[in-house]
Structure 1
Amino acid sequence: MKTRWRGKAACIMLLVAAATSAGCGSIGPRRMLQDRTDYIASYTESWKRQILLNIVKVRYAEPIFFMDVGDIVAGYSMETGGSVGFSRTLYNGPTLITDNNNPVLSNFSKLEFGASARYTDRPTITYKPMTGASFRLGVMSALPVRNIMMGLDTGISAKFLFNLGVRSINGLRNATLTASGNVPAQEGFKRTVEIISQLQLESAVRVRVEHGQNSREGRMYLMLGGKRPSPEVAALISELRDILHLDPAVYEYEITIDPEVENRRQIAIQAFSLMQILASVAARVDIPAEDIDSRRALPSIKDSPGSDILDPVAVHSGGVRPLDAFAAISFHGHWFWVDDRDILAKRVFSFLMLAFTLMEEKNATLPPQLTIPVQ
């Protein structure tokens, strides 16, 4: 009997020791493998739904609102413990087999053991509503032309960038939504974008940036063709110069955001704001007919900005949640979604998410520091 209980006691002590030593290993590295990708997926999905919700709200003439994620702090703690105790009385007595699930030896000798473990997952997420100056600079202000041109230089399609984000080039107007309806794009603007897109495919257009002094931004230039372009490229550049009234004696032109150029060696580019881009996508929301008839939502507008890169319907609607959607939200008793097979609409949503990062806020104040106690 004593030998048997001693063997069991030894096994139990080994188990308690193993449970106690398990808490010595760090859980952070193991959790990071999963948490990082999970947080990225959740963050991206929340941005897609937020953008889709605000696009739909534009058609229902409701105020739009954005909520940004400030900090994500994942805190974990693992606590384990074990105990082993042995006691024996001074008096002899009868031998018992069990006492509260603990082995009892003869002469009131008793071996007690115990193990405990506690795991805590306490993530902390902070949110920052876009209000005041941050809303004005992030949503109402025009996209920085400098960042649009840098996007062109990094290989983003010129047709995509200019048709969706640029309002005018040297006075040539893109399609524009107004209170009285849609104003179609001028033919000169369309042809300009088409020529720049072809030059981009021929690697005959690039952006050069001069470094500024005293924290000032340097000048930016659009370089066309280079010194020895091919005959096909030279013909496109010559046509572009005629459309934009550029000086044929040079092959690079300064980019300016002023409404009017000072000379023929400048190209004036005006950009849309995020609000205007959201409105152009909102024009392609399939609003239920009953909501339009009851004047709860605005009617659709044909040939709005981005018609060359977006289908007439970019956001679908219905009464049942779709099973295969890039993004879906429930609003006013209906489901609205972007089809996961609509590659054009998905590209626009990706651009809108990128556009929020392209917005510049000079002299921005740092967000409050979040302090999490170490556990």
Structure 2
Amino acid sequence: MIRTASVAAALCAACLTSACVHIGPSRLKADQVDYARALGDAKKREILAAVVGLRYGDAPAFLTVSSIIAAYTFDASGGATANAGSGSQPNYALATGSVSYSNHPTFTFTPTTGEAFASAYIRPLAPALVLPLAEGGIPIDLLLRITAQSVGGLQNGNALGGENSAGAPGFFELLRALRRLQLAGELNVESRKVGDKNDQMSVFLVMGATTSGDSPQITADVARVGKLLHLSSNTRSYEIVYGPSSAWQKADKIPMVTRSVLGILTDLGAQVQVPAERINDGSTKPTVGLIGGETRPTIIVHSGKTAPDNAYVMIPYGGSSYWVDRNDFDSKYAFTVVQNLMALAEADTSSKAPVVTIPAN
């Protein structure tokens, strides 16, 4: 009987020990995906909170997750007692074991301030940073609608533009023509080194340069883009330069004024539909409408007392809930583009990516 108890205790300890040995790999499989999703969802809420806050004139604040420590502790113990018995005392054996498990995740947040804040969120995004995204498949009309304040002197909608806040009709006409050329494979974005700029790449817009065959629609779109931007017909390659149209009078260059991240978020906030009482009591300004066939907001943000359970992203603000509908693909895609643009803007300000440490004892 004593031998049986000893064997049982040994088996118990072995099982508990084997569970401890395998906890690390098993948790890594789950945590890698779970924490990645959690970081993405947290970033979406941060962006929506900034958009809605700017709608009401609140200054946004941004936190960077610099480290994640998921500490797991697994303790196990086992023992056995036995009594051979004598006289009226019966023989008996007893095996005991205990298991304890704990999870103590630790997150480290770093506020973005000072020069890092100015570089990532206040300075305009460089055209060389933004436009190559179109070559990666992002619709160029959506990309320019989000990031460009003006292209060739044609003004985009502006939250603080007063009477001209809705933008120029020619701007949205330009976006539609560029999108048709992109879908036809007749629009490319190229990065090249120009002159002595060995450490800086220039971005060129190439239109109608493929050999897939001309069509009346493509010919008309190329001509219309050239007319709207006052481009020369002697070339199909045009350099994108930063600045207003008055600073660049050359017919082989396309001047562009880009927005900063704060400018992008402010513009998105100006399109958010808010309760009428918030406008009447002076909490915010009326919603900015668009013209030229682009009356749909870039991202449709709903507001109400409560958000649906399956909302794509939701935040509470001032007694109301604001959310993006999960069934609204266009808004979700635009939201993803904004999230990617912010990641590009923050790339130079982050000393390193978040570190995930998973100790399993």
User: Retained in 2: the 8 A contact 1:19–1:115?
Assistant: no
> Could you tell me which residue of structure 1 aligns to residue 178 of structure 2?
196
Residues 141-190 of structure 1: CA distance to partner in whole angstroms, max 9, x if unpaired? 22221122111111111111112211111222212222645523223322
User: Retained in 2: the 8 A contact 1:23–1:79?
Assistant: no
User: Retained in 2: the 8 A contact 1:174–1:186?
Assistant: yes
Structure 2 CA distance for aligned equivalents of residues 39 and 369 of structure 1 = 11
Residues 309/137 of structure 1: CA separation in 2 closer, same or farther (3 Å cut): farther
User: Retained in 1: the 8 A contact 2:128–2:201?
Assistant: no
TM-score (norm 1): 0.82
* Aligned-partner residue type, residue 153 of structure 1: E
1:58 aligns with 2:45: no
Q: Report the alpha carbon displacement of residue 373 of structure 1 after superposing the two structures with TM.
A: 10
Residue 222 of structure 1: which of 205, 208, 213 is its match?
205
1:334 aligns with 2:327: no
User: Retained in 2: the 8 A contact 1:73–1:124?
Assistant: yes
Residues 76-129 of structure 1: CA distance to partner in whole angstroms, max 9, x if unpaired? 3433333456799xxx9645348xxxx3xxxxxxx6654333333232321121
> Could you tell me which residue of structure 2 aligns to residue 96 of structure 1?
89
Structure 1 CA distance for aligned equivalents of residues 90 and 198 of structure 2 = 84
1:6-45 matched pairs, under 5 angstroms = 6=2, 8-23=4-19, 25-45=21-41
Residues 230-279 of structure 1: CA distance to partner in whole angstroms, max 9, x if unpaired? 14333422332222222222221112113332622111122122222222
> Could you tell me which residue of structure 2 aligns to residue 165 of structure 1?
147
Residues 23-62 of structure 1: CA distance to partner in whole angstroms, max 9, x if unpaired? 4633222112221221122212212222222222122222
> Could you tell me which residue of structure 2 aligns to residue 243 of structure 1?
228
Which structure 2 residue ranges, 5 or more long, are not aligned? none
> Could you tell me which residue of structure 2 aligns to residue 108 of structure 1?
none
* Aligned-partner residue type, residue 357 of structure 1: A
DSSP 3-state at the match of 1:250: coil
User: Retained in 2: the 8 A contact 1:318–1:334?
Assistant: yes
Which structure 1 residue ranges, 5 or more long, are not aligned? 104-110
Residues 277/343 of structure 1: CA separation in 2 closer, same or farther (3 Å cut): same
DSSP 3-state at the match of 1:203: coil
1:139-218 matched pairs, under 5 angstroms = 139-178=121-160, 180=162, 182-211=164-193, 216-218=199-201
> Could you tell me which residue of structure 2 aligns to residue 358 of structure 1?
344
Structure 2 CA distance for aligned equivalents of residues 157 and 292 of structure 1 = 34
User: Retained in 1: the 8 A contact 2:66–2:354?
Assistant: no
User: Retained in 1: the 8 A contact 2:132–2:190?
Assistant: no
> Could you tell me which residue of structure 2 aligns to residue 261 of structure 1?
248
User: Retained in 1: the 8 A contact 2:56–2:284?
Assistant: yes
Which protein has the larger Cα radius of gyration, Structure 1 or Structure 2? 1
- How many residues in Structure 1 have an aligned counterpart in Structure 2? 355
1:123 aligns with 2:70: no
Q: RCO greater where, 1 or 2, for CA within 8 Å and sep 6 or more? A: 2
Structure 2 CA distance for aligned equivalents of residues 330 and 129 of structure 1 = 21
- Identical-pair percentage: 25
1:287-298 matched pairs, under 5 angstroms = 287-298=274-285
1:277 aligns with 2:282: no
User: Retained in 2: the 8 A contact 1:181–1:301?
Assistant: no
User: Retained in 2: the 8 A contact 1:19–1:82?
Assistant: no
> Could you tell me which residue of structure 2 aligns to residue 71 of structure 1?
67
DSSP 3-state at the match of 2:312: strand
> Could you tell me which residue of structure 1 aligns to residue 120 of structure 2?
138
